[in-house]
A and B are shown apart, each in its own frame.
Chain A
Amino acid sequence: GAVVSQHPSRVICKSGTSVKIECRSLDFQATTMFWYRQFPKQSLMLMATSNEGSKATYEQGVEKDKFLINHASLTLSTLTVTSAHPEDSSFYICSAGSAAQETQYFGPGTRLLVL
């Protein structure tokens, strides 16, 4: 299957700082990328849908000013957690899809710990 990478794989930051997570589709052009968040022992929760060259669509209850998403190219989307707080500590996962693929493919996830 297609390969999606995320960077960094884990990050620790201080409360109040901002953290950027990158999601890259390595061997295909992703017209759409998705960002999920997963808390311990819970399922994945969709945060937002990102289409290349346009503004992201956020799910209800997700603050767009706190979770900034940029999808500037067909192979890269970034999620910036602004002014992170301990409650933002979570496992962030991206997925990428295009009409040419048989399904969406997921990145390995980024574990964020805010102290």
Chain B
Amino acid sequence: DAKTTQPTSMDCAEGRAANLPCNHSTISGNEYVYWYRQIHSQGPQYIIHGLKNNETNEMASLIITEDRKSSTLILPHATLRDTAVYYCIVRLPSNTGKLIFGQGTTLQVKP
């Protein structure tokens, strides 16, 4: 699976959009970009995933660049409950394949 690079930490004001970047320059053609988050002392939570088209669901939007070497997770209106560690993972779309977590981005939403 391709390696990803994320900023260690970010701050965001409550009510504003949180834009979390992820670099995955070695991504291969059939690998997807997945995003999970982990709120303190809980198990990770699936957010969204995509291959090359932008995706949106009730939690977030995922913007993937045309060359697929980077992506951005957007939380449109961040709340204090969105404070968490966000993980960007690149992998094949097999739900029986293992997930390898990097260090992620710690997002602190401030009032």
Contacts and interface: CB of A to CB of B under 8 A. Distances in A.
Contact of A106 (B41, B45, B49, B103): B45
B95 A104 contact: yes
A98 interface: yes
B100 A46 contact: yes
A64 to B, nearest CB: 16
B42 interface: yes
A31 B99 CA distance: 15
B96 A99 contact: yes
A109 B95 contact: no
A95 interface: yes
Contact of B96 (A6, A43, A93, A97): A97
Given A34-B98, A43-B103, A98-B95, 20 more contacts: A31-B96, A34-B99, A43-B104, A45-B101, A46-B98, A46-B99, A49-B98, A51-B96, A97-B96, A99-B96, A101-B95, A102-B95, A103-B46, A103-B95, A104-B99, A105-B46, A106-B44, A106-B46, A108-B43, A109-B41
6 contacts: A34-B98, A34-B99, A51-B96, A97-B96, A98-B95, A99-B95
